[in-house]
Structure 1
């Protein structure tokens, strides 16, 4: 009987230890998710303060830009690391250097007359059409 009690205590202790480890892992994952969400919210807030500098003019069907969700009329707030300030200081070549084949390109957009910016992730690559993105832009003139 004593051996059975010792065995039961040992298995109960082992199960409790495993549960504590699992709970700690869940807590750690939850904390990491909360930190990530906070960083994303802060990034979105910072981007929302940027001035749009390009407007998507044309997006070719089945192009990398189209497949990523970029649409005509969207205003560009940030193109990779390029903002209106960077474009003003470095010129159009900044846009070219931000676009590399096969390299993920985050593009922050705002739909015309909409407040909420959103991030679209484009992977520039060769496709049936011209360029690596398959879209064109018009500059937005400062008012």
Structure 2
């Protein structure tokens, strides 16, 4: 339902192993069935600061699970990556 289009080096997203072009199919409690817009993800991130989130992505045709802990770091936001909605 969404795709990572930038990951900043040294950010929580980069440390968790998220990569550019990863297609997100599950982000904490947000999944394909209940995703409406990026606010859904933003809300999950805000409520999970300092707590690990389970994120499932499709990378190279395979499902990959990463544990992502949103937290304050040197850069902007709590993740350090940019996520865009996928148009189906």
What displacement does 1:83 show? 1.1
Q: Which residue of 2 aligns with 1:137?
A: 83
Q: TM-score, normalised by structure 1?
A: 0.57
Secondary structure of the 2:13 match is helix
Matched ranges for 1:38-57 at <5 A: 53-57=1-5
CA RMSD of aligned residues (A): 1.2
- Structure 2 equivalent of residue 96 of structure 1: 42
2:6 is aligned to 58
Q: Which has the higher strand share?
A: 2
Within 5 Å, which residues of 2 pair with 1:98-137? 98-99=44-45, 100-111=48-59, 114-137=60-83
- Partners of 2:87 and 2:64 lie apart in 1 by 22
Matched, 1:82 2:30: yes
Once superposed, which parts of structure 1, at least 4 consecutive aligned residues long, lie more than 4 Å away? none
Q: Which has the higher contact order (CA 8 A, sep 6+)?
A: 2
More helix by share: 1
Structure 2, unaligned runs of 5 or more: none
1:103 Cα shift?
Answer: 1.0
Structure 1: tracts of 5 or more residues without a match: 1-52
Higher Cα Rg, which structure: 1
